[in-house]
Structure formats: C-alpha cells, structure tokens
C-alpha cells in the first residue's frame, strides 16, 4: 500500500510491532537513513528474497528507498510472500522531511 509521508509517519506512530525497512544500496544507506531502519538491498535478488522470508510476517513493515519505486516493488514482493502489512513511502528519501541518522 502506498502512503504519503504524512500518512506513513502517522500510521507508523499508531501501530505496534513496526519495522522500518530500507531497500536501498549500501552506498545510499551510508549517506543517511531513517532512524531504526533495517537495510535489505532489493538489488541483491535471491538474497533479498531469503532475508525478507526470514522476517516475522505478523509485524508491520514501513518500506522506503530513494524515490519510492524500489520500495513499491519490495512491498509487492512482500505481499506475494504472505506479508499483509507492507507500506510504501511515496517519494522516498528524496521527499523525506523527517529525521535522518
């Protein structure tokens, strides 16, 4: 599900069992990431799938990338793998106005 930054942040704040998932490359992550995010690079193909499959399907995943395109694809993959709660940040880091670490 695609969410605006405002909705993404608001919904994440009201949810429990939240995981922030950054699907960018290591180089991109080194430039800064949303606090408390875990990084699983979508470009790693089968390794990405394996790492996603190891995650807890009962949690809610807030997914982002640079622009929102890769994270949208990641959410589609997660849905196919049985994750019911994967939320894409529209605009990604390019439009992110929140905290960065």
Mark 83-93 as b/e (b = at least 16 C-beta within 10 Å).
bebbbbbbbbb
**Per-residue model confidence (pLDDT) at position 80:** 97
Banded pLDDT at 3 (limits 50, 70, 90): very high
Average pLDDT over the chain, rounded to whole? 97
CATH number for the domain formed by residue range(s) 2-95: 3.40.250.10
Report, as residue numbers or ranges, the catalytic residues. 65
pLDDT, tens only, 22-60:
999 999 999 999 999 999 999 999 999 999 999 999 999
Banded pLDDT at 82 (limits 50, 70, 90): very high
pTM as predicted: 0.96
């Amino acid at each position: 599900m695609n969410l605006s930054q405002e909705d993404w942040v608001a919904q994440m704040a009201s949810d429990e069992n939240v995981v922030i998932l950054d699907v960018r490359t290591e180089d991109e992550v080194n430039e800064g990431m949303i606090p408390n995010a875990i990084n699983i690079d979508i470009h790693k193909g089968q390794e990405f799938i394996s790492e996603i499959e190891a995650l807890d399907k009962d949690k809610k995943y807030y997914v982002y990338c640079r622009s929102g395109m890769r994270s949208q694809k990641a959410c589609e993959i997660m849905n196919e793998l049985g994750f019911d709660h994967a939320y894409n940040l529209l605009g990604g880091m390019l439009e992110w106005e929140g905290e960065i670490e």
